[in-house]
Amino acid sequence: MIWAACRGSDGFDWPELWVTEGWRPAGDRRDLHSELRALDISCRHIAGDQAERERIAGEWAQQVAGLLGPDYDVVVHGAQSNLHLHVELDP
């Protein structure tokens, strides 16, 4: 997942990426973070207003999803400073 996030960002010229969450305890619903099958990757490094940041994050998510294949879900979550990619293995 991390490899795909890095490779998927090649055209954006970002100096670094931050994984903001890997494992976390299970809550009231199924959570693939607790199964070590999901990562959240911050979008704080994306410049622009909220709409532009969401557009760029969406492009990045598509590239990451293309690299990982159909067994993975890649979605953009959150808003403002919490905007992030959620990447999970869910075959």
pLDDT tens profile 60-91:
999 999 999 999 999 999 989 999 999 999 88
pTM of the model as a whole:
0.90
Q: Identify the top-confidence range among 1-15, 22-36, 49-63.
A: 49-63
Tell me the residue range of the domain where 44 lies.
2-24+32-89
Place of tokens 């709409």: 51
Query: CA-to-CA distance for 48 and 46, rounded, in angstroms?
Result: 7
Predicted pLDDT at 24: 86
Torsion angle, alpha carbons of 24, 29, 35, 40, to 10: -50
Gyration radius of the chain over CA positions: 13
Structural domain tally of the chain? 1
Nearest to 12 by CA among 57, 76, 75, 73: 57
Contact 6, 73 (CB under 8 A): no
Q: Is the dihedral of CA 39, 13, 61, 89 positive or negative?
A: negative
